[in-house]
Amino acid sequence: MAILSIEPLTRQAFAPFGEVVETEGLTPLSINQGYAERYNELATIDVGAEGGQINISWFVASARPAPIAIRLMERHPLGSQLFMPLNGGDWLVVVCTDPHTRSSYRALAAKGNQGVNYARNCWHHPLLVLKDASSFLVVDRKGGGDNLEEYWLDETMQLDLRTAAS
């Protein structure tokens, strides 16, 4: 069984797969008479294929038993998919450029203040959280067309959770 090391989620590491949604390093716009700060253009929502529309959802995810096995990858050919944690808990992201090529897989440790926007057609694992009842705001596509493609791995991979804290 292949073991997948986990590296920190950064804009650079995730760039081939989409966008990291975070405010670090950005300058906010002061609004509401100075009582609030607004961060603009954090992600590009791409849902217009085949007449799609933006869908905003609330997901509540459960932790998978350790060791975490990677058996399934999915992608959305008609739109992007954004996940933003709401509980502040750290979570995991697994992506690849080609699900048939093991060397293309990356596992990334996301902080509780980081979201991701998977680009259209980005292969990724379904939501992976470290604590039960982890809530996420999700922005993705609704509408006609087949917007889900799944790939079941021939050989399961396993995440090396010891590397998640590095």
Residue-level length of the chain: 166
Strand partners, 113: none
Instruction: List pLDDT tens digits, range 20-48.
Output: 999 999 999 999 999 999 999 999 999 99
**pTM of the entire structure?**
0.95
Q: What is the mean pLDDT of residues 1-8?
A: 95
Superfamily of domain 2-163: Ureidoglycolate hydrolase (2.60.120.480)
- Distance between CA atoms of 88 and 159, rounded to whole angstroms? 22
Phi, psi for 5 (deg, rounded to 5): -75, 155
- Distance between CA atoms of 88 and 128, rounded to whole angstroms? 14
Residue 122's nearest CA partner among 12, 15, 7 is 15
